[in-house]
Amino acid sequence: MSVFAVIFAPDAERATDEMLRVLSPGGRVVLTSWVPAGPIAAAGRIVVEALTRALPAPTTPRPTWGDPAFVRDVFARRGATASLVEETLVFEAASPEGWFAEQEEHHPFWRFTRKTLAPAEWDAVRDASVTALRDGNEVATGFRTTSRYLLVTATKARA
């Protein structure tokens, strides 16, 4: 089981191989993956793009675990079948700025990016991210957004 974790592994092929390797025939992998849509995904893309500019380019493309075709294919090429269900998760905070501040303080990736960037670069990331969050806010006061994710169940082929 991987709840919004394996999707951050840099090599999806290797990660999938390992998940299936540890299963018995007929065993299941269950994972969740964000669908790359909505204001939180937009804010996340801003953070990723800033970090990508600051660090050397990766040697492999980022896995696209939020794409159903990718997920089905990465398992199918290994003889496993994947079923996907789209679900939602609501995020709320006092404001878009408050939501961003919480990520900035607690989310490992956001904390790493903040430490990596120059202060002025991080300020620009914060401003652009808060704008994206504000643009996708679902309520007039405070902050609320509904993010979509995939619930994936992949079954290893029986021997």
Q: Enumerate domains of the chain plus CATH numbers.
A: 2-155 (3.40.50.150)
3-state secondary structure of 145: strand
Instruction: Give 125's pLDDT tier (boundaries 50, 70, 90).
Output: very high
Cβ atoms of 157 and 79 within 8 Å: the answer is yes
pLDDT given for residue 105 in this prediction = 96
pLDDT tens digit sequence for 105-116 = 999 989 999 999
pLDDT given for residue 102 in this prediction = 97
pLDDT given for residue 88 in this prediction = 97
For residue 151, report the phi and psi dihedrals to the nearest 5 degrees. -105, 110
pLDDT tens digit sequence for 61-86 = 677 899 999 999 999 999 999 999 99
Average pLDDT over residues 37-56: 91
Q: How far apart are CA 93 and CA 143, in angstroms?
A: 5
User: What is the pairing mode between strands 2-3 and 28-34?
Assistant: parallel
Q: What percentage of the chain carries pLDDT values higher than 90?
A: 84
**Is pTM beyond 0.85 here?**
yes
Flag whether pLDDT at 148 surpasses 90: yes
pLDDT given for residue 60 in this prediction = 58
Cβ atoms of 6 and 74 within 8 Å: the answer is no
Chain centroid, CA 2 distance in Å: 12
pLDDT given for residue 109 in this prediction = 87
Beta strands in 54-138 (DSSP E): 81-93
The DSSP code sequence of 57-126 is PPSSPPP-TT-HHHHHHHHHTTT-EEEEEEEEEEEEESSHHHHHHHHHHH-HHHHHHHHHS-HHHHHHHH
